[in-house]
Amino acid sequence: MNEDKLHELEKLFQKDRYVALSGIKIEEVGDDYATVGAAVRPDEHMNGVGTVQGGMLYTAADFAFAVLTNMLHPTTVTQTATVTYIRAAKTDRISATARELACSGHNCVVEVTVRDGEGVTVMTGLFNGFISAKK
Amino acid sequence: MNEDKLHELEKLFQKDRYVALSGIKIEEVGDDYATVGAAVRPDEHMNGVGTVQGGMLYTAADFAFAVLTNMLHPTTVTQTATVTYIRAAKTDRISATARELACSGHNCVVEVTVRDGEGVTVMTGLFNGFISAKK
Amino acid sequence: MNEDKLHELEKLFQKDRYVALSGIKIEEVGDDYATVGAAVRPDEHMNGVGTVQGGMLYTAADFAFAVLTNMLHPTTVTQTATVTYIRAAKTDRISATARELACSGHNCVVEVTVRDGEGVTVMTGLFNGFISAKK
Amino acid sequence: MNEDKLHELEKLFQKDRYVALSGIKIEEVGDDYATVGAAVRPDEHMNGVGTVQGGMLYTAADFAFAVLTNMLHPTTVTQTATVTYIRAAKTDRISATARELACSGHNCVVEVTVRDGEGVTVMTGLFNGFISAKK
């Protein structure tokens, strides 16, 4: 894992207020992946039946995408995202790991897997990013 | 507009803590649409360049979807969602309106448009829902 | 309906061999929509249980998208497409109608509805296009 | 590779006429993946600028998805598919490989990569399937 890179990225994203409001933090970055995570706070993240809300899972996935792509090729913004909810997330923490599947010109495609505290997949996502600086 | 229906739905969703954390409220419901909205709070919703974060826009869209589909055919949960970010949202408020495109058996497809304070579209979404109770 | 425009577009797309192989033709174009369609040929379009194959429905939808967007703002290519199959298509003809939801800079978002011979929706799609010539 | 399994699956899908029309065949199946492919025929698969049409790439991806999922858990049908076109496919052959990312209850999520004759990715897809027989 790359500690310096992680701190650099934390700095880059410190002004992302919605991610901060949601309690999501960068946990780990490597050459080709990035993982973010959050401790689940029932009074802030859950719905009436004790599962983490879809918007929270999405925000974590989108953040993992943002961290990875801006590490690999700044500046990248989310253009389109498709997410599928696999299982209800009844857990005390979540993590989202992003890996790039393809990149060409201004377009990159990233897969993100969101897991619960036991490592079970709760949501998968495919994110398309637009890269402003030409490669 | 249907005030009683709106209050009923507010009650149904009062335990959605992430939506509450995000400051998103139900604004209007009709026979075939539902609109939710939020005042944008810069210190909670924005990123470093003054635009509303993608996760916040998504959460609003997902909530509009949830309100509409649970009004039309409870109980519906989001199965897959595809969202496209059209323009940066530099605004003081957002709204998300959901309309159903199709419904058959356990599957429904809903289109959601998220707009800024001037009514300009900032994000569009296509949501697939799974309906537990058979029609 | 605009006959001249239709013939112009037929000329533009005459080299699309896969669309020709599939028997899909432009049927109608207006200021803000385009409709393509095909007679269903069981020995070419169907699967083992008498329904039109998903790939055929997609190809029709993608063609409707291409016709509309190249009429509105050439040159546009499909970047990402999300389709949902609503009902099995047991029919003798299909049609696909495309309408643009949003357009900004190099990016456009188009909704496409594919219907059977009775006008019942069998597939919906959301297509993201990349526009090469700047607006 | 599993030859018997491949022949079994070829039999299962022999009535898929659109796949046959498109010239797409099953090439390889393993425990957790399935690959289909086609020789590109310019007069049947290409557009005016010498690239394989998007509908053809999609049909190959959808077929790879169908082969894999019906091998793993029949009977599975495509419910939603999201595809992104990465690069223009100027090639003499294409292949599509499907791998399952997650499966739970009636829902499975499969990633499909479509490559050209040199193994370069031209399209990626995320397919959601509905499984009729309960696991």
Residues 48-87 on D with a CB inside 8 Å of B are 79-80, 82
Tokens in use for B125?
């979404």
Contact A82 C82 (CB under 8 A): yes
Mean pLDDT of C45-63: 94
Task: Say whether residue C128 is in contact with chain A using an 8 A CB cutoff.
Answer: yes
**Are the CB atoms for D130 and D110 separated by under 8 Å?**
no
Whether residue A67 contacts residue A13, with contact meaning beta carbons closer than 8 Å, is answered with: yes
Q: Which residues of B51-81 are buried (b: 16+ CB within 10 A; e: fewer)?
A: bbbbbbbbbbbbbbbbbbbbbbbeebbbbbb
- Dist CA A84 CA A31 (whole Å): 26
pLDDT in tens, D80-126: 999 999 899 999 999 999 999 888 888 899 999 999 999 999 999 99
Measured between beta carbons, the chain A residues lying within 8 angstroms of C79 are 107, 128
Q: For the structural domain made of C3-131, what CATH number should be given?
A: 3.10.129.10
Nearest to B37 by CA among B51, B49, B52, B48: B52
Q: State whether B82 and A85 contact (CB < 8 Å).
A: no
Contact B43/A at CB under 8 A:
yes
In sequence order, the 6+-apart residues with CB closer than 8 A to the CB of D55 are C18, C19, C22, C55, C58, C59, C62, C63
- Using the structure block, give the residue that is written with the tokens 């913004």: A77
Do B126 and C82 count as a contact with CB atoms less than 8 A apart? yes
Closest C-alpha to D120, from D80, D77, D85: D85
Q: How far is CA A63 from the centre of its chain?
A: 4
Confidence check: pLDDT of C62 > 60: yes
Alpha-carbon gap, residue C53 to D20, rounded angstroms:
11
**How far apart are the CA of C43 and the nearest CA of chain A, in angstroms?**
34
User: Residue D76 contacts by C-beta under 8 Å, 6 or more apart in sequence?
Assistant: D66, D69, D70, D108, D129, D130, D131, D132
Is 60 exceeded by the pLDDT of residue D134?
no
| Reported pTM | 0.88
Question: Is D107 in the B-facing interface, judged by CB distances under 8 Å?
Answer: yes
State how beta strands A107-115 and B33-39 pair: unpaired
Of B82, B104, B107, the CB nearest to C82: B82
- C53 chain-D contacts, CB cut-off 8 A: 16-19, 59
Measure D125 CA to nearest chain A CA, in Å.
9
Provide the CB-side half-sphere exposure for D52 (13 A, CA).
Answer: 27
Size (chain D), residues: 135
| Domains of chain C, residue spans | 3-131
Q: For residues C78 and D54, is the Cβ–Cβ distance under 8 A?
A: yes
- Contact yes or no for D107 and B79 at CB 8 A: yes
Q: Which residue of C has its CA nearest to A82?
A: C82
ipTM for the complex shown: 0.95
Q: Is the pLDDT of residue A135 over 50?
A: no
